[in-house]
């Protein structure tokens, strides 16, 4: 039901920044109970699609394609969920001793090794993001032998045993270095949107550290706050904005 209402919003059925019909009217139009409509609207609110205050009708926030904070681990899943054609090309996989900074990020022993993975991510045939991820060696080995064109590592990592429970996300802007410029086709020094992420298991043990560097005008992040929900969402940016 939430998907149906969202489709109507994205097609302009309620107008931009318009007001949704009442729960009773929506229930009648779709042949479902008001409880189903209420649950669907709660889901849309949690994802930043609509908002409301006590005693007022829900208002459409916009038609941006968003992805819930909890699912940001998978770029492929996000792209497919919104009708995009995801692509990937692994540029580097290397097992090596961890640096001091990497040992701190992943809480590793002094002689520990990591697996470094560098991947170019695409929407359609357009480069969008360069992904730099480090894993403890015991986890990174699971993806070391995957084909370079493998779209998603998430399923393989899940099958390997670790439980990806929590993530911290830090977002800033960084100047493109020579590695970024070569992979993304931009000039050195171009401002890139950077999402840094550390993911841990249920006991707080780090499983990966990733730096995703996005070309400007391709992807943006939004934060929706309410009294009950705080959600971070990613969306396809509009270059003309």
pLDDT tens for residues 95-150?
Answer: 999 999 999 999 999 999 999 999 999 988 889 999 999 999 988 888 888 888 88
pLDDT, mean over the chain: 80
Q: How far is CA 108 from CA 52, 73, 144, 203, in A?
A: 46, 22, 19, 15
DSSP state of 99: P
Q: Show me where the domains of the chain are located.
A: 2-46, 69-236
pTM exceeding 0.75: no
DSSP state of 205: -
More confident residue, 175 or 44: 175
Q: Check whether 19 has a pLDDT greater than 50.
A: yes
Confidence of residue 43 (pLDDT cuts 50, 70, 90): confident
Q: How far is CA 1 from CA 78, 110, 147, 150, 227, in A?
A: 20, 52, 38, 33, 24
CATH topology of domain 69-236: Chorismate lyase (3.40.1410)
Q: Check whether 70 has a pLDDT greater than 50.
A: no
Q: Mean pLDDT highest for which of 32-46, 134-148, 179-193?
A: 179-193
pLDDT tens for residues 206-215?
Answer: 999 999 999 9
């Amino acid at each position: 039901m939430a998907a149906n209402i969202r489709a109507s919003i994205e097609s302009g059925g309620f107008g931009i920044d318009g007001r949704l019909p009442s729960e009773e009217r929506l229930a009648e139009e779709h042949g479902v109970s008001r409880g189903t409509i209420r649950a669907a609207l709660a889901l849309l609110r949690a994802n930043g699609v609509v908002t409301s205050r006590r005693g007022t009708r829900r208002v459409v926030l916009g038609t941006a394609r968003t992805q819930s904070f909890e699912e940001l681990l998978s770029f492929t899943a996000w792209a497919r969920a919104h009708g995009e054609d995801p692509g990937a090309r692994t540029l580097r996989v290397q097992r090596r001793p961890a640096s001091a900074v990497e040992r701190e990020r992943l809480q590793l022993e002094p002689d520990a090794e990591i697996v470094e993975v560098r991947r170019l991510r695409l929407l359609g045939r357009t480069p969008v993001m360069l992904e730099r991820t480090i894993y403890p060696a015991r986890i990174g080995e699971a993806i070391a032998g995957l084909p370079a064109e493998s779209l998603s590592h998430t399923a393989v990592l899940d099958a390997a045993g670790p439980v990806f429970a929590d993530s911290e996300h830090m977002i800033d802007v960084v100047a493109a270095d020579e590695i970024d410029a070569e992979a993304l086709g931009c000039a050195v020094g171009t401002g890139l949107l950077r999402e840094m992420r550390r993911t841990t298991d249920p006991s707080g043990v780090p499983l990966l550290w990733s730096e995703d560097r996005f070309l400007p005008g391709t992807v943006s992040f939004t934060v929706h706050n309410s009294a009950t929900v705080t959600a971070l969402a990613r969306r396809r940016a509009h270059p003309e904005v």
